[in-house]
Amino acid sequence: MTITFDCPGCGGICAFRGRYAGRTARCMRCNQQFVIPSENDLPAEKIEIEFQYDDPIPGFFAAAVKGVRETFLNWKNATGLLFVALLVCLKFVVRHQNCDLYLVRVRLYVPFGLIMAAGMMGCLFWYYMEIVCSAAFGDNDLPDIDMGTPARLVGSALSSLYNFFVALTVVQVPFIVVGLTLIKLQIQATWLLYALSTAGLFVFPIAVLTMAVGGDLNMLTHPNYLIRPIVKAFSAYLVPALMVIAAAFFQWKTFAYGLDIGQSPAETATLLSADIAAAMLAVLAMRTTGLFYRHYSCHMTWQE
């Protein structure tokens, strides 16, 4: 359930997931703090603050280090971690299980495995978004898993898959443009393509944060929303950014699974372990991204 209400500061419409009712949040337009009401259209309690928003909340690095221990050593997070590991294993197994269907001597290629793998990725992305929001709004534990009815599950998976695709496309625009230009000019510059792709991944955490907390894909079209927080808190932003780049590297290494029919069980187990490690690193990256918002939201006014 989504709760919608008017901001007590600027009057703009705000929307938050129902499970955040009663918690403190901040308007994306005017930066006003308030308490999220319990029902739609109820007035939000305005919070008067005694400090300036120009000052970030200290303790980000300590919270990030503590978060590593809490994520993997807190038994309350076991369900979430097992959920992620299960999705990764299922995706790893089914993504190459495509088949051919014969209908009246017509051979049809059915990408069953790819469709199932895309669904697993959608569920993973949905949970990653939940982790960002949960950490951003003060939860120290991984969020509960509640995808609702089968229809809602499919909708959440498709929506999350689409949102992550859009965010990744937006941050990779320079890579795509330069890559197509180089191909057209028949120029080989592999190092430049890798550098641009890595730069795109570097911006990806703030794009996910803007999309998850802001709740509007159109916000990704404003470069200042993405660049300003990075510049203002560069050293802190390095933490989730480097985690995302490392997770992408591990994920890329597992892409070769299934291409070599003669792979040994040990090689397959190694690739699966790397895939799970990449997902766990992504969990940490998303949690740290939420912490980045919690400590440096003063740099994310997101004003229209």
Q: In one letter, which amino acid is 300? A: M
Among 45-54, 111-120, 262-271, 294-303, whose mean pLDDT is lowest? Answer: 45-54
* Whole-angstrom distance, CA of residue 144 vs CA of residue 131: 9
Q: Quick check: 76 pLDDT over 70?
A: yes
| φ, ψ (nearest 5 deg) of residue 264 | -80, 160
User: Which of 4-13, 141-150, 279-288 tops mean pLDDT?
Assistant: 279-288
* Whole-angstrom distance, CA of residue 23 vs CA of residue 37: 8
Domain regions of the chain by residue span: 1-50, 56-299
| Contact (Cβ atoms closer than 8 angstroms) between residue 269 and residue 227 | no
For residues 80, 67, 302, 176, the Cα torsion angle rounded to the nearest 10 degrees is -70
Into which CATH architecture does domain 1-50 fall? Single Sheet (2.20)
Q: Tell the burial category of 235 from Cβ atoms under 10 Å away from its Cβ (0-12, 13-18, 19+).
A: exposed
Share of the chain above pLDDT 90, in %: 17
Share of the chain above pLDDT 70, in %: 87
Count CA within 13 A, CB hemisphere, residue 185: 9
For 179, 239, 250, the CA distances from 195, given in Å and listed in that order, are 11, 19, 17
50 vs 295, which has greater pLDDT? Answer: 295
